[in-house]
Amino acid sequence: MTTGGSTGAARRETSAGGVVVLRTNGSLRYLLIRDSYRNWGFPKGHIERGESAERAAEREVREETGLRNVTVRAELDTIDWTFRARGRTIHKTCHFFLMEATNRRTRPQRDEGITACRWVTFEEAESLVAYENARIVLRSAHARAASEPGPSAGDGG
């Protein structure tokens, strides 16, 4: 799914990210990050030259959250949006992947503006996520994660 607006003469950027799920005691928890603007969302970042979207998503999740053991489970939605930064119009496309973690221990990447990491239920995530296009990705991830059995993690810290 692609959502978004017009591009005009906008500079194009492509990134990738992950909706990370943790299965504990029969329930699902989703990892949210809070950015420097105090918005909750998902870890994501630029795809580097020669890097696949899937590998970029794994790298960005590890870098931004400090998680080491994450596994890509499925490709999710691709979203896009247009915004202005430093006087330029930017059209951003982001590829999201469903990922699974085996423990809950996180370490926010503060030097990149990540101020917090938080494991929440689907309902909490749906109310906290700042942007509608990210909530659409969350719903897609939840439908997929809830329908597929996966390894169950312990508390892990």
Question: Which residue in this structure is represented by tokens 């503006």?
Answer: 113
In a domain, 2, yes or no: no
Closest by CA position to 118, among listed 35, 11, 51, 58: 35
pLDDT, the chain, mean: 89
Q: Give the model's pLDDT for residue 157.
A: 43
Instruction: Summarize pLDDT for 19-72 with one digit per residue, the tens.
Output: 999 998 889 999 999 998 999 999 999 999 999 999 999 999 999 999 999 999
Which CATH number covers residue 119? 3.90.79.10
Question: Which residue in this structure is represented by tokens 């998680």?
Answer: 67
The pTM of this model reads 0.86
In a domain, 5, yes or no: no
Q: Give the model's pLDDT for residue 2.
A: 47
Domain boundaries, position 87 = 11-147
Q: Give the model's pLDDT for residue 26.
A: 86
In a domain, 153, yes or no: no
- Domain total in the chain: 1
In a domain, 156, yes or no: no
Q: How far is CA 155 from CA 18, 104, 150, in A?
A: 21, 7, 15
